[in-house]
Structure 1
Amino acid sequence: MPYQLDSGFTHNMIDLDDVRLHYVRGGSGPTVVLLHGWGSTWYMWRRVMASLAENYTVIVPDLRGIGDSGMPQKPLTGYDKVTVAGDIHQLVERLGLGPVHIIGHDHGAAVAYAYSATYRDEVRSLVFCEMALMGVAGDKGIEYFMDQREELRLWHLSFHAANHVAEMLIHGKEREYLRWFYRMQIVNVDAIDDEDIDVYARSYAGPGGLRLEYYRAFYQDGIDNKRLAQQKLTIPVLAVGGANSIRDLCVSSMEAVADDVEGVVVPECGHWLPEERPEAFLENVTAFLQRV
């Protein structure tokens, strides 16, 4: 049965200075912004949005160039995390919301860090899920996963960063590639079923839909992160990893850039945390939000 958006939420479009963003909104109270990563859209938060909206205004955008954002013309540039964070900040400003609690997964976590470090007075807390920062965490950063010398790590990071090659090889097989991509990094295999894959494939198979520029921006992200990390975050930070995925490397990244870091490793969980273990996600995140 196709997913039905909860009646308390609405789909919206907004024209910003140089990009059009799609976002979902619901609830009332202090603002929580949920940012997805690559291979996902706003839809990845579907199992946790309603619970968060009981106490918070929940804003769930599609990042620049992904999902319904940027339609009908996807931006060709601007996929470094500082620029994408600027999109989200402008969205929050236009909606008259903030300061915010910002929660990110994968690339969305890197965007959430860039937002927190750039707009320091406008962020209440940061939840950093299933990501390692480029440029600042030494052998525990993204570079660790891109190093293929000792063992097979996350080879797709280098593959996606190869300019135009990945698009050429994936084109026409986006659904098959995404299905493999989810299965490669998942423990609870029922968490992303065929209907869910159809939702994601419709986004990523569209013109310009792969948006692998997020990976090609890693090296600029590293430069930006080194600059931003010169002043550590002082807001509360929760770093959450899956036991069968990044584990405590989220904490290592955050400890390199923030003073007040709490770490959680969710058992029996792969990369797709809010979809695989929504109850554990909500338990840890709502307790954290209540404390801060």
Structure 2
Amino acid sequence: MTTRIPGFTTRRLTAGGTDLHVAIGGAGPPLLLLHGFPQTHLTWRAVAPALAESYTVICPDLPGYGDSGPPGEGVEHYSKRAMTATFAELMTTLGHQRFAVAGHDRGGLVAFRMGLDHADRVTHTAVLDVLPAVDVFGALAGAGGVFAFHLSFLAHPEPLPERMIGADPAVFFGHFLDGWTKVTGALPAEVRSEYLRTLSEPSVIHAICQDYRAGVCFDLEHDKQDKALGRRLPMPVLALWQDPGEAPLPFDPAALWRSWAPSVTTKALACGHFLPEERPEEVIAALRELLG
């Protein structure tokens, strides 16, 4: 097992004033893959090599996550609109004016925002196991919020979350890495250790908290404004999520994504939250179908 994506090279590139750690491989039309919480670009390690047979695949660590530097100190730098601008600049730097984007979890929120704010550049959008901020905060009210406590906890003003997580990062982040995984063997020890390596850094803990604070302070308002204006994703969209099994979700992901995307394909996969790691072959097939 390697903690690098097989066949990919890593580079350090600056975009939007952020020092980004980026893995790149393959040749063909460009595809930007964005990871989620609490991971790094390695979440795509089983998906990216297969897609690199037909596409130029770009896998960065989100600003402040993994080995990417922070975008700035203020919470506003962690809004999905700001991250979207950073990744749009990254793709320009790499010579790609038009490209497809797929994101899981927090990366899915960036992909969603990119599809709205840079619709002239995005050819296809895929979102994995995530809902826009305006929808998720409404959907997880009441008892549902207990199971997504991190959304509010991480968004609390500093330094409370940072200090509490910093007391034992392995226990805090391990709770999600282990508890959100349903497929045995999907998260090998080497990869789990690599995630925890960066997650133990105070700067990364702070960046993750800033990301979630931005979700409440900025992303929620941006989504509300777009919803009120009737803005939609004009390109073909794929929305995948985990099949909840016998415990039904307190919302309808397909219906929510149809409200944002006139041309959307939706599907539930039998796994936990980490779709690219738990069901890579199905994710590969779905992305290939989307991209044509």
Cα 1:244/1:190, change in 2 over 3 Å: farther
Q: Distance in 1 between matches of 2:191 and 2:138?
A: 31
Residue 109 of structure 2 is aligned to residue 110 of structure 1: yes
Q: RMSD across aligned C-alpha pairs, in angstroms?
A: 2.0
Who is 1:222 aligned against? 220
Q: Which residue of the other structure, out of 176, 185, 195, is the alignment partner of 1:181?
A: 176
TM-score, scaled to structure 1: 0.90
How far, CA to CA, are the matches of 1:15 and 1:151 in structure 2?
37
Please identify, of 156-165 and 27-36, the stretch whose mean Cα deviation from structure 2 is larger: 156-165
The corresponding residue for 1:264 is 267
- SS state of the match for residue 234, structure 2? strand
SS in 1 for 2:113: helix
Question: In 2, are the aligned partners of 1:187 and 1:244 still within 8 Å (CA)?
Answer: no
Post-superposition CA distance 1:119-164 (Å, at most 9, x none): 11101110011101112x3xxx33322x245773311211111123
* SS of residue paired to 1:102: strand
**Maintained 8 Å contact 1:39/1:178:** yes
Unaligned runs of 5+ residues in structure 2 are: none
Alignment match, 2:78: 79
Normalised to the residue count of structure 2, the TM-score between the two structures is: 0.90
Secondary structure of the residue aligned to 1:108 is: helix
State the 1:252 CA deviation: 3.3
Deviation (angstroms), 1:4: 4.5
1:252 aligns with 2:249: no
Once residues 50 and 31 of structure 1 are traced to their aligned partners in structure 2, the CA distance between those partners, rounded to angstroms, is 14
What displacement does 1:249 show?
A: 4.4
Corresponding position of 1:59: 58
- Alpha carbons 1:161, 1:213 under 8 Å: kept: yes
Would you say 1:208 and 2:203 are equivalent positions? yes
Residue identity (%):
29
Q: Report the AA paired with residue 27 of structure 1.
A: G
What is the CA-CA distance between 1:261 and the residue it aligns to?
1.1
Number of equivalent positions:
281
Instruction: Tell me the CA shift for residue 65 of structure 1.
Output: 0.8
Contact 1:31 1:97 in 2 (8 A): yes
Tell me the distance in 1 between the aligned counterparts of 2:252 and 2:202: 34
